Amino acid sequence: MTHNHPHLIRAPKDRFTSGVMANMRFVAQRMLLKPVVWSITRVSVHGHDAVKGVQGAFIAVANHSSHLDAPLIMCALPRRMGRYLAAGAAADYFFDIWWRRILTALFFNAFPIDRTGTAQKQGVSKKLLNRGVPLLVFPEGTRSKTGEMADFKAGAAALSLACDVPLVPVALVGASAAMPRGRNWPIPGRPPVAVIFGEPMIGLPGETPDQFSKRIKAEVQRLHATGSSTLKGSS
């Protein structure tokens, strides 16, 4: 007599969902990347309590001002949330050279985002979320040149609404000053940076992606302001 166990039928494992790859990434992130970043900057992390109830897939959205941003978030997240987190990376930059593609896959579980504005790559994001893989997205689309926050593109908000997953707002404070655009390494002297996680957000009834996106940006700005005063107080 055979028993059917439909819950045992799983999609084939790939680098996004493989436990072996997740363990390799954990070693790469926590034993290589984190000690380096934490030794060349002074990192403070706030808001772990805000995300302790987050289960399954989610979209982390953050302001983007430095190459430090993704390493800071990935290494600051609680392990259960960061284990399978996949970071959106610009297809035209991170996926054009083989060694860069391999490194971004190893350290950031990266998936390509098309910055040219076509929607072809959005299917990748939806498939990952539907398989339970959380995403890290920078809705500004590119690093800020001035440290000022640009408008958030509505893609992350639209994904959250379409896939019914929460958005976790994240503010990065001090990363732009620590490692401005054009620098390949942070400034000397261990500049202070802060990572602030906010309460998960979901779309309101009838809310459009644009409206939701504006609300997310306002929350990231609020978190950023609280983090800025914390940094000033500790410096």
* Residue 61 near residue 138 (C-beta atoms within 8 A): yes
Top-confidence residue, 210 or 144: 210
Burial-class residue 36 by CB neighbours within 10 Å (0-12, 13-18, 19+).
exposed
Q: For residue range 31-53, what is the model confidence (pLDDT) as tens digits?
A: 888 999 999 999 999 999 999 99
Give the torsion sign (CA, 50, 206, 58, 70). negative
Whether the per-residue pLDDT at 9 is higher than 50: the answer is no
Q: For residue range 116-130, what is the model confidence (pLDDT) as tens digits?
A: 544 555 688 899 999
Specify the 3-state DSSP secondary structure of 190: coil
214: part of which helix (H) or strand (E)? Answer: helix 209-234
Whether the per-residue pLDDT at 197 is higher than 50: the answer is yes
**Residue written as tokens 């072809």?**
120
Do the strands 135-137 and 167-173 form a parallel or antiparallel pair, or are they unpaired?
unpaired
Predicted local distance difference test score (pLDDT) of residue 144:
66
- Core vs surface per residue 140-178: b (16+ CB within 10 A) or e: bbebbeebebbebbbbbbbbbbebebbbbbbbbbbbbbb
Burial-class residue 186 by CB neighbours within 10 Å (0-12, 13-18, 19+).
buried
Measured torsion, CA atoms of residues 59, 174, 75, 214, in degrees rounded to the nearest 10? 0
| Domains, the chain | 18-234 (3.40.1130.10)
